[in-house]
Each structure stands twice: as structure tokens, then as C-alpha cells.
Chains A and B, each alone.
Chain A
Amino acid sequence: MNGRLLKTGRLLRPLFAIVCGLGIAALVMQLSGYNVREAYSALFTGATGIEPGAARGASQIALGTLPVFSRPYHLNTFLLAQSLAKSTPLLFCGLAIALGLRAGLFNIGAQGQMTVGALAAAFVGQWGIGKGDSGTFPPLLHITLVLMAGAAAGALWGALPGLLKAYRGVHEVIATIMLNYVAINATTYFVTHTLKDPNSAAAQSARIAKSAWLAPFVAGSNLTAGFLLALLAAAALAFLIGRTSLGFRIRAVGMGADAAAAAGISVPRTLIVTMALSGALAGLAGGVEVVGVQHRFIQGIASNYGYDGIAVALLGGLGGGGVGLSALFFGALSSGAAHMQTLTDVPDSIAVIVQAIVIIFVGVRYIRRNKRNRGTFNLDEMQPSGSGIGSGKAV
């Protein structure tokens, strides 16, 4: 098989899914009586920050007159920053799910892992807090500790279904769904009791010390170094999967547990380690949300990022770079849809519809790939033979 052909094929199918998603959503808007052109141009502006009109103020960069549109455009850096900020937790969660899928594990639990990660981060973030939320820790150290706490908590919450899968044969999909609800309720319990913000009736923790805050790149936005950390994580994941012996073991288990075991790979250990690493990535999403955006734990801090990460991973084709692009797309889509709702009254749930259609079209894609025997991974192989959901066998 020609290598270049494979590359274009890998890019074309996700693009086809995206075009179908946007196309069907346009049809829905048209049929329900909205102005599709207006809606999509507002969505595009929210997604990319490119706006018509001359640049005004320090946060807008003139782009000059674009040839086709014969009117001046500018780049609204705030909108672009918000769009990239939205991609940050999506990228972490997408990577978490992609890593699990590489080992044949469907980690539906990123939502819960992100939530417990955020709680642990908010807890450590309060260390050394003084008057006016000032902190006694050196910022770099404090932020590192907070993020490590988030990753560690997420890793533990992820390792648990890994353990259940490896030693009790409990299917990770069911275990992680259950653990998501346990995590959401347990963390809410903590921030309504022991870790409650004494100054508010809301279900939230007190603010973390300022020494653990990440400063935004663009004033007023949520874009911080957390975004760079997510990009770094994507590169690290690509390296781990492609270049390390652990990555090899993960892929081997993903392609067939029996064969991997026959080759001397400890399947239970690989499953647990994969789930722990996957949970750590999701936990980092929670940590970054605390240090960069909320500066505390709030109920529902994981929004829907853990589940959205599944779409991110599937569209991205489970590679570091692909998941990165996919997270940028979904971040832009969601940020753009919010902008669209403000400007045009078109409900932002149009973004959810696009996401659903993309998932369905990409899901079908894997089958096609399998039939033509392309690529190394397909979702059909996700359940190694002999391991039905929760079947008696260990793997």
C-alpha cells in the first residue's frame, strides 16, 4: 500500500465526517427557519477569531482586506484564545481515551477521572494560602504540585476499573460509567461538607492560593500555559505509543490479548498501567481547569469534557497529532457555537448535533478501514476474543 495514499485517506475520512456534520446541521437550521449563512459566519468568527471590520483596540490585529470578500478583516485574539482554551480539556480527555483504545480499553470514565483530578488539585491548591488568597509557595512549585495531584487522583480513579477488568473481568465500559456517577456525587459531597467554600452557599471549594494560578495569555481569556501542556502531552503520547516498549505492549494487548499473553506480555499489568495513565491525562484536564480557569473546584467542573473526549479521540484516529487537530476542531466548534448563540439566537446545541453526526460517521469509517485492511487499529478489535462484557475470564 502506498504510504501517501494512506495519509490522504486518513485525513479525508475525518474531513468527510465533519462536512457531513456541518451539512446536516445546516439543513436542520434551514428547515427550522434560521439564516444559515449568518449563523455559520458567526460560528466561524467565534471559532477562529476572524471578524469583519477594521481592527480596534490592542486585542485586535488587522488582517487587511481579504481578496475575495473585498472588505477589511481583523483577528479578535480574545475569541481565538477562548477557542483554544476550550480545546485544552478536550485534548487531555481525547488523549486519555485514545490511549485506552490503543490497549483495547474503552475508557468512558474520563469524566469521573477529570472530576476527581480537579478536586485533588483544588485541595493542594489551598496549601500555604494566606491573606487575600496570597500563597507562600513559589508559583512554579505550587502549580507543579497541584497538577501532579490532579494527575495522581485521576490515575487512581482510572486504575480502579483497570484492576476490576484485569482481575475480575468486569468490563471497563460499565465500571467507568458507574464510577463516573460515584465521582460526581462524592466530589459534590466533599464541596458541600469538609471542603466547602465558607463564603458561599454554592457547591464549590474555597479559592486556591494565587501562587497556584496560571496567568492568561490574552487578558480576560481562559487561555493559559495549560494549552501548551496539553500539546506537550499529545507529543508525549505519540512518543509513548510509537517509541517505547510500554507503548508496544499497549498496542500488542490492543490487537489481541491472547497473542500478547503468548508473547510473554503481562496483560493484566498492561491493562492497569494503561488505565492509570489514561486517568492521569484526564486528571490533568481537571488540574488545568482549576489552576487556569476556575481557581477552585465547582460542581460540574468537568462540564461534558470527558464524554466529548470520546468524539475527539475517535475523530482524531487515536494518534497524538490527529487527536490534537480533532481537539482544536471540537474546541473551536463549541466556542463558535456559543458565539453564534449570542449573535444570532440559534441554539448552541447545534454543536452537539454536529458532534453526534461526526461520531456516527467516524464510527462507520473504522469498519470500512477494516475491510480494506488498512491501518493498524480498528474498533472491531476492541474486545479481544473471549472477553465479552464482564465475562468470567480475566482478559
Chain B
Amino acid sequence: MPTPHAFSALQAFVSATLYSAVPLSIAAMGGILSERAGVVNIALEGLMLTGAFVGIVAGQSSALFGLAAALFAGGLLGLLHAFLTQKTRMNHVVSGLGINLLAAGVTRYLAIRLFPNGLHIDGLPGSLFLLLAVLLPVVVALMLSRTQFGLRLRAVGENPESARMAGVSPTLPRYVAVTLSGVFAALSGAYLSMADAHTFSSNMSAGKGYIALAAVIFGKWTPVGAALGALFFGFFYALETQLQISGIHLTLLGIEWTSPFLLDMLPYLMTLAALVSVIGRATPPAALGQEE
């Protein structure tokens, strides 16, 4: 029989896993929409940071207004990514890097200017975001597989030329998908600042946008797969925290396997393994990142 103490520890561990997965899962849905439409989106990181910042600043009097403003800002920046990659035909990676830098620079600059001593927010309950992190993958999966828009989105991501011949212009689905991807990434960022940290600190996304991208690849560009990938990565975060709290060290063959630095490597190594088909090949949308 497990003791009540062990039970509550397990409960805490499961909760830590779930909440670590929340921002990854939500941002990954943004990544999926963009990439399935054929637009590489390494801007997730900057879009998250923007959402985190705007949510805090605009949410001072009303948290829901802050959330709405964050989503709007994310959508706007997503639209910029769509414009740069589609209209000016900028390389997708260059545009993504530019947006990431812009977000990092502007949010840090404004944070120092507006609230050098930090800014607290009561914010929103984490459970709201947990619910969204569970629902969104299902909604996105249904949208991709069951709706006409989803079909078009996949068509322009796999073969824009055929889509065009079938009378579907790649432009509109891509604009919508990339803009929505900004909204989702900002939602994920708003979780970080409004529900998790209750404040903003510069570069608080700390690479989570890239891990979300890893979850997309790990989940083979499918919504449910990516959500499970996010859960899997979340499990390692929770494990790492738990190991640090409990002070457990496991050293074998001269290597300390419980080191947080080694555990932090796992999501990236597993994503690489997925790409080289060690654990089932991950194949991206055929026209991803290509100019027409």
C-alpha cells in the first residue's frame, strides 16, 4: 500500500510533468500549423517571448484583456513572418531569426524602460492553460483532417504547384496558418508570464520555442504526436526538478547520470534520433521551406 506521503509526491510529479508540457504543447500546435502549410517557423521562440511580455504589460488591470492583447500581438508578428516569407520571399530561417532578435531586443529594452524593478501580475489560473494544451491538439488535428481549410493547408504544404493547379492559391492558407501560429505561440508565452512566473523577465522563453519545434518534429508533424512529445519532454523537466529537490545522485561508470545538464540534453538527442529514424522516421511536409 502506498503511503499518503508517497501518493502526494506522485501527484506533485504528475502535475509538474503536465505543467512543464503545457507551454511546449501549445506552442507546438503553432509550429504544426505553420510547418504543415510549408512555412518553417523558428520564430516560435520570439513569438512566445512577445506573448509573455504583452500579456504582463497589458494585463495589469484585466488579465483577460492582457491575454487578448498578447494573442493579438503574437498574431501580428506571425503575420509579419507570413508577409516576409510569402510576399517578399525572404528565406524562412532568416525571417524567423530576425523576428526572434526583434522580440528579444524590444521586450528587453521595454522591460528595462517600463519596469526596471519587475512587474507582478496575479494573472490567470494555470488550469485554464492546461485545458487548452489538451484541447488544442485535438482541435488542430480535427481541423487538419476534417475541414476544407485543413485540406487546403496540407495541400499547399505538400505540393503548392498541384494545389495551385487545383485552384487553391497557396497564399491565403499560408497567411492564415502562420498568423494563427503566432497566436498559439503567444498563448504559450502568456502562460509562462501570466500563469507560471507571474512576472516578466528578459528572455524568459529560454529556448522553449525551440523545444516546441523539437516536439513538432518528434511528433512527426502531427498534432497529437507533438502533444505527446511535449508531454514526454515535460516528464524529463519534472524528473530533473524532482531529482534536484530530493538530492538523488546516480553515478555510474564515472558519469553522473542525474546531472541536470545531461537530462536537459535528452529532448534534443531524442529529436535527432527521430530524424535519423532510430525510433521511426520523422518525415516533414514535402514543400517545407521551399520557394515556389
Residues of chain A whose beta carbon lies under 8 Å from any beta carbon of chain B: 28, 32, 106, 108, 164, 168, 170-171, 173-175, 177-179, 181-182, 185-186, 188-189, 192-194, 307, 310-311, 314, 347, 349-353, 355-357, 359-360, 363-364, 366-367, 379-380, 382-383, 385, 388-392
A-B contact pairs, 29 of them (CB 8 A): A32-B113, A171-B284, A177-B213, A181-B207, A182-B265, A185-B264, A185-B265, A186-B265, A189-B261, A189-B262, A307-B97, A311-B97, A349-B112, A350-B109, A353-B102, A353-B106, A353-B109, A360-B90, A364-B84, A364-B90, A367-B90, A379-B90, A385-B290, A388-B284, A388-B286, A390-B217, A391-B284, A391-B286, A392-B283
Chain A contacts of B259 at CB under 8 A? 189, 192-193
Please tell me if the beta carbons of A363 and B84 are within 8 angstroms of each other in the complex: yes
Chain B contacts of A182 at CB under 8 A? 265, 268-269, 272
Please tell me if the beta carbons of A388 and B287 are within 8 angstroms of each other in the complex: yes
Chain B contacts of A347 at CB under 8 A? 108-109, 112-113
Please tell me if the beta carbons of A367 and B88 are within 8 angstroms of each other in the complex: yes
Q: How far is the CA of A209 from the CA of B15 in the complex (A)?
A: 49
Given contacts A193-B259, A359-B94, A367-B90, contact A177 B265 (CB under 8 A): no
Given contacts A164-B275, A352-B104, A380-B89, contact A388 B290 (CB under 8 A): yes
Please tell me if the beta carbons of A363 and B210 are within 8 angstroms of each other in the complex: no
Q: Identify which of A168, A357, A379, A391 contacts B277 (C-beta below 8 A).
A: A168
Q: A106-B91, A168-B275, A390-B275 are in contact. List 9 more A-B contacts (CB 8 A).
A: A173-B40, A175-B275, A179-B268, A359-B101, A360-B95, A363-B90, A363-B95, A385-B290, A390-B284
Chain A contacts of B104 at CB under 8 A? 349, 352, 356
Question: What residue of chain B has the Cβ atom nearest to residue A32's Cβ?
Answer: B113
Chain B contacts of A178 at CB under 8 A? 214, 268-269, 271-272
Q: Is B250 an interface residue (CB 8 A)?
A: no
Question: What residue of chain B has the Cβ atom nearest to residue A170's Cβ?
Answer: B275
Q: How far is the CA of A349 from the CA of B214 in the complex (A)?
A: 28
A320 to chain B, nearest CB (A): 21
Q: How far is the CA of A351 from the CA of B288 in the complex (A)?
A: 32
B74 to chain A, nearest CB (A): 17
Q: Identify which of A175, A177, A366, A385 contacts B91 (C-beta below 8 A).
A: A366
A104 to chain B, nearest CB (A): 11
Please tell me if the beta carbons of A356 and B98 are within 8 angstroms of each other in the complex: yes
Given contacts A106-B93, A347-B108, A353-B106, contact A185 B284 (CB under 8 A): no
Please tell me if the beta carbons of B108 and A349 are within 8 angstroms of each other in the complex: yes
Q: Is B289 an interface residue (CB 8 A)?
A: yes
Interface residues of B in 256-276 (CB under 8 A from A): 256, 259, 261-262, 264-265, 268-269, 271-272, 275-276
CB-CB nearest 7 A-B residue pairs? A352-B105, A356-B101, A356-B102, A353-B105, A189-B261, A379-B91, A363-B94
B174 to chain A, nearest CB (A): 15
Q: Is B178 an interface residue (CB 8 A)?
A: no
A212 to chain B, nearest CB (A): 26
Q: Identify which of A28, A106, A179 contacts B272 (C-beta below 8 A).
A: A179
Question: What residue of chain B has the Cβ atom nearest to residue A307's Cβ?
Answer: B97
Residues of chain B whose beta carbon lies under 8 Å from any beta carbon of chain A: 40, 42, 84, 88-91, 93-95, 97-99, 101-102, 104-106, 108-110, 112-113, 202, 207, 210, 213-214, 217, 254-256, 259, 261-262, 264-265, 268-269, 271-272, 275-277, 282-291
Q: How far is the CA of A356 from the CA of B43 in the complex (A)?
A: 12
B186 to chain A, nearest CB (A): 18
Greatest chain A CB density within 10 A among B95, B97, B255, B286 is at B97
Please tell me if the beta carbons of B261 and A186 are within 8 angstroms of each other in the complex: yes
Q: How far is the CA of A181 from the CA of B263 in the complex (A)?
A: 12
Q: How far is the CA of A385 from the CA of B213 in the complex (A)?
A: 24
Question: What residue of chain B has the Cβ atom nearest to residue A33's Cβ?
Answer: B113
Q: How far is the CA of A122 from the CA of B144 in the complex (A)?
A: 51
Please tell me if the beta carbons of A380 and B91 are within 8 angstroms of each other in the complex: yes
Greatest chain A CB density within 10 A among B90, B110, B282, B286 is at B90
B81 to chain A, nearest CB (A): 11
Question: What residue of chain A has the Cβ atom nearest to residue B108's Cβ?
Answer: A349
Chain A contacts of B282 at CB under 8 A? 390
Q: How far is the CA of A364 from the CA of B87 in the complex (A)?
A: 10
Please tell me if the beta carbons of B98 and A181 are within 8 angstroms of each other in the complex: no
Please tell me if the beta carbons of B289 and A389 are within 8 angstroms of each other in the complex: yes
Q: How far is the CA of A305 from the CA of B196 in the complex (A)?
A: 30
Chain A contacts of B213 at CB under 8 A? 174, 177
Greatest chain B CB density within 10 A among A171, A314, A389 is at A389
Chain B contacts of A173 at CB under 8 A? 40, 42, 93
Q: How far is the CA of A380 from the CA of B292 in the complex (A)?
A: 10
Given contacts A170-B275, A181-B268, contact A359 B289 (CB under 8 A): no
Q: How far is the CA of A390 from the CA of B286 in the complex (A)?
A: 9
Please tell me if the beta carbons of B40 and A181 are within 8 angstroms of each other in the complex: no
Chain B contacts of A311 at CB under 8 A? 97, 101
Given contacts A173-B42, A182-B265, contact A383 B97 (CB under 8 A): no
Q: How far is the CA of A119 from the CA of B287 in the complex (A)?
A: 38
A159 to chain B, nearest CB (A): 15
Chain B contacts of A193 at CB under 8 A? 255-256, 259
Please tell me if the beta carbons of A108 and B276 are within 8 angstroms of each other in the complex: no
B207 to chain A, nearest CB (A): 7
Q: How far is the CA of A382 from the CA of B286 in the complex (A)?
A: 16
Q: How far is the CA of A382 from the CA of B89 in the complex (A)?
A: 13
Chain A contacts of B217 at CB under 8 A? 174, 390
Q: How far is the CA of A18 from the CA of B214 in the complex (A)?
A: 33
Please tell me if the beta carbons of A349 and B91 are within 8 angstroms of each other in the complex: no
Q: Identify which of B95, B109, B256, B290 contacts A349 (C-beta below 8 A).
A: B109
Chain B contacts of A383 at CB under 8 A? 289-291
Chain A contacts of B84 at CB under 8 A? 360, 363-364
Please tell me if the beta carbons of B93 and A108 are within 8 angstroms of each other in the complex: yes
Please tell me if the beta carbons of A367 and B265 are within 8 angstroms of each other in the complex: no
Please tell me if the beta carbons of A181 and B210 are within 8 angstroms of each other in the complex: yes
